[in-house]
Structure 1
Amino acid sequence: MATIATTARGNAGPLRRWGTASVAADSGALPLQVNAVQAMCRQVFGFRLAMIAVAAPAALLGAGPGLGVRLVGAAVVVTFMGSYVLFRDWERFGPLLLAHPSLLAADTLFGALLLISAGPDTTLAYVSVCTPLLAGIVYGWRGAAFFASLQGLILLLVHATLGPGEDLAESLLLPGLCVITGAVGSTLRNLLLRFGEATEALTAVRSRLAVSEAVNSERAQLARDLHDSVAKTLYGVTLAAEALARSAAAPAPDPAALKAQADLIARSARRAAAESRELLSDLRRASGEEGAAAVDLDAELAARVTHFAPGPRPRTTYEARTGAGCSLPKLPRVQARHLLAIVGEALDNADRHAAATRVRVRLTADDGLLTLTVDDDGTGLPPGTTLENLRRSGHFGLLGMTERADFLGAHLHIGPGDGDRGTEVRLRMPLPSGREPG
């Protein structure tokens, strides 16, 4: 005998404008990339700030008296304060630097005064190396090439002036380092641009997948609702119409039987129309409205069983039980509708397919769990029954039950009943709000 179980799985060229929230680049507005570039620029200015503070005393001591001290002092103030304000408030002053590269060139010239005064063997050499790195990050490879060339020329002039006897390789070390850091800055900038493009593309793909998933979910819900309401009623109309045709074709048709069968067809047709209107109303209902009202699940299940029982159908009973300190919950309408649909499908299967003589429906609230069980004494599921086989063969009842259980975040078990006889449909889900209602 087969068993089916399911558990819920309950968005480059040079930067032209750069404000607080966006940047115009090759790939458009990329806030994530902007934040990363801003953080990197602030780190570079923070490093420059520390190096200037450390080398400022040596630069002032190395300056000539009078005008020399004043020039070097002014250079210290300008470079220190420039680095400070850009480190402290990049969002406000960064756009000025981006819009006016001449500001960075002026800062480079002021830094040259400090370098001449303190000497290339001080920490100011690291400040010189930071300039092409910053230019590469902010202005791209053209800016990196210009400022690496400018800073390298300044360093060569300083070496030629202050240390004419130095080895050529030593004189070219810092200029070469400027070229390297400029290339690194430009590379980092390009990587950030590409990362921003990849992020946008990933976001777009996720959006499309979310839309597709929402559409598929709506289609599956519509299919379940049609199967559980209009399709079943129309199937009943078909059977009644066939019976009416057979009765009318009899040699001596019974007018009372013909009238009863015609009345049954009329009632079923009206029921199908009512179910269609209710389905259309659900589709047009505003999002969130359906779950606002609470439903007494106990009363609804009792009414469902009472409505199902009359006639030649199996004898059906209903019982509800609660644990200590618990009471039967009232559920949001959308949850109650799915639970009632699962019970209705289980009852119909027991009547139409299992040849059952007895069906029992039980509702239990205990230990923080809501358990809903429908069991019968019928023939049970055919051997080898799987959801995939049911889908391929066009039997969507059990498939709809598992989908509804997934939506509820519940565990659904469909398998043999007591003593391996009949079929048991058992659903377990947490009580509302994760607690036992008292």
Structure 2
Amino acid sequence: MTSPSSADRIHSATQVERLAAVAALCRAVLLGRAVVTVTASAAGLLIVDRPDRLLMVIGLVVLSTAVEVAVLSRHPHCVRFVGPALAIDALLLGAVLALQAGGAAFFLFAAGGAALAGVLLGTRAWPLWAVDALLGFIAAARILRADDVPSEVSAFVVAFPMATVVTGIVAAWVTQATVRHVDMLVDIIGMAQRSAAASERARLARELHDSVAKTLRGVSFAALALPASLRSGPELAEQLANVVAAGADAAAGEARDLIEGLRLDDADQDFPDCLDRICREWSAVTGTPVRLTAEDVDPTATVRYELSRILREALHNVERHAEAGRVTVDLAHAGAVLRLTVEDDGKGFEVPADLAELRATGHYGLLGIAERARTIGGTATVRSSPGRGVTVEVGVPRPAPVPAHRPA
């Protein structure tokens, strides 16, 4: 059984988002129709002779809207069943027409029905709009047959059926624009996901090449020389066997380190929370308290990963060399730079002018921190002196803001 491709997943996500957008528009239309219809009916209670019919209209609209909105909220996919939905709405329109033919409640409810049809069918709903307009003209004619209707009111009543058609057209246009916008957003998200996946694959390839691959290459050279050394000299063969064994152990350790590094950064977790988790886990193991101060920042996936590894390496350096009583970690913006600072109160050391000289003293972790900072375009600074602890500071340029698009 094959897994769905990226294109299939994006297409599926697009369909889901479209349904959600259409369902949201339907809820908005239903709620808007209910508000204006109930408001008009409530105002009519003060002037009509038989308020009982208006009360029935209010009850019908409130109850039906509550049910429809609840169903759409729990089951947005119901918008796929266009025929049954519009049939139910037509029955409700007929009930309102029977209770108050020619009243404002009917015209407003009909306009809402035309808008709902426009959301569900687009411009294909024109036959329904024509039927709504015809019913509106029939209801308007019933009103105009009365002798005491002022001319201003007559013009207003005649305009209502056409307003129903206009409402349906506007709803169809808004729905089409919304669906296009949803499609564009899904495409943008899909492109971002593909770009992030490519960047992650490139980073993993670099990590494997710089660590495990190099070690295994050395092991393979030693293993190739081993058969010949068995014939020429047992002592050399023993040395090569030791090299193979040590290299295999080193490769396994590097692989474990790489896997642990991948687990450091949880992409679904806020970056300050991720750093807090790293600090708490390290503190629980070593017993050394860590105080973290972090601004609410959201760097790119690559920067998140490298800064997480840098923090862990800095804490491991404290554990191995510092003999510190406390550690302070700070993540903050300093102008156009995102700065991570790790400071301890340990024994410190004399920092050479060139960090490459640290190889002689066994401080490989600081060199690794500097290398990781360079891979993300940043810099690493180490400040220390004997008895005054160590401060490791990494600065990474903040990405330039994307300019807002302005139509020409």
TM-score range, shorter chain: 0.5 to 0.7
Larger helix fraction of residues: 2
1:293-304, aligned counterparts within 5 Å?
294=281
- Output the CA distance in 2 between the equivalents of 1:55 and 1:205: 50
Highest Rg: 1 or 2? Answer: 1
Question: Aligned-residue CA RMSD in angstroms?
Answer: 5.4
TM-score normalised by the chain length of structure 2: 0.54
- Unaligned residue ranges in structure 1 (runs of 5+): 1-25, 61-71, 116-123, 249-254, 300-325, 347-359, 382-395, 419-423, 430-438
Q: Does 1:48 align with 2:37?
A: yes
Task: Please say if 1:98 is aligned against 2:86.
Answer: yes
1:130-149 equivalences in 2 (<5 Å): 130-140=108-118, 141-142=125-126, 143-149=128-134
TM-score between the two structures when normalised by the length of structure 1: 0.50
Shift of 1:212: 4.0
Aligned to 2:145: 160
Query: 1:227 deviation in Å?
Result: 0.9
**Alignment coverage as a number of residue pairs:** 301
Partner of 2:19 in structure 1? 30
State the shift of 1:159 in Å. Answer: 1.2
Q: CA deviation at 1:135?
A: 1.8
User: Could you say if the C-alpha distance between residues 111 and 236 of structure 1 is closer, same or farther in structure 2, counting changes exceeding 3 Å?
Assistant: same
Moved more, 205-214 or 94-103: 94-103
Does residue 371 in structure 1 map to residue 346 in structure 2? no
Residue 173 of structure 1 pairs with residue 139 of structure 2: no
State the 1:134 CA deviation: 0.6
2:242 to 237, 262, 267: 267
Report the Cα distance in structure 2 between the residues aligned to 1:295 and 1:156, rounded to whole angstroms.
Answer: 82
2:299 is aligned to none
| 8 Å contact kept, 1:148–1:179 | yes
Structure 1 residues 184, 173: CA separation in 2 closer, same or farther (over 3 Å shift)? same
Give the deviation of 1:151 after TM superposition: 1.0
Question: What's the offset of the Cα at 1:340?
Answer: 6.9
Structure 1 residues 139 and 363, CA, compared in 2 at 3 Å: closer, same or farther?
farther
Q: Aligned pair 1:327/2:302, yes or no?
A: no
Structure 2: stretches of 5+ with no match in the other structure: 1-14, 73-77, 79-83, 119-124, 266-276, 292-305, 331-341, 357-366, 396-408
Letter in 2 for 1:110: L
Flag the 1:152–1:403 CA change in 2: closer, same or farther, 3 A.
farther
Cα distance, 1:111–1:177 mapped onto 2, change above 3 Å: same
Residue 335 of structure 1: how far off its partner (Å): 9.2
**In structure 1, how many angstroms separate the alpha carbons of the residues matched to 2:219 and 2:350?**
24
**Separation in 2, partners of 1:53, 1:175:** 23
- Where 2:288 maps in the other structure, the secondary structure is coil
Residues 18-417 of structure 1 aligned to structure 2 (within 5 Å)? 30-60=19-49, 72=50, 75-91=53-69, 98-100=86-88, 101-112=90-101, 115=102, 124-125=103-104, 127-140=105-118, 141-142=125-126, 143-163=128-148, 167=151, 171-203=154-186, 205-210=188-193, 212-231=195-214, 234=217, 265-278=240-253, 294=281, 327=288, 365-368=326-329, 370-371=342-343, 377=352, 401-402=372-373, 413-414=380-381
Aligned to 2:161, the other structure's residue is in SS state helix
CA distance in 2, matches of 1:197, 1:329: 50
* TM-aligned CA deviation for residue 104 of structure 1: 0.8
Compute the displacement of 1:274 (Å): 2.9
> For 2:261 and 2:97, how far apart are their aligned partners in 1?
63
Aligned equivalents of 1:42, 1:214: Cα separation in 2:
42
CA distance in 2 between counterparts of 1:86 and 1:328 reads 61
Q: Which amino acid aligns with 1:213?
A: A
Greater RCO (CA < 8 Å, at least 6 residues apart): 1
Aligned mates of 1:185, 1:259 — CA distance in 2: 91
Structure 1 residues 57 and 341, CA, compared in 2 at 3 Å: closer, same or farther?
Answer: closer
Q: How does 1:1-12 map to 2 (within 5 A)?
A: none
What letter matches 1:426 in structure 2?
V
Which shifted more, 139-148 or 89-98?
A: 89-98
- What fraction of aligned residue pairs are identical, expressed as a percent? 10
Residues 1:209 and 1:272: Cα distance change in structure 2 (over 3 Å): farther
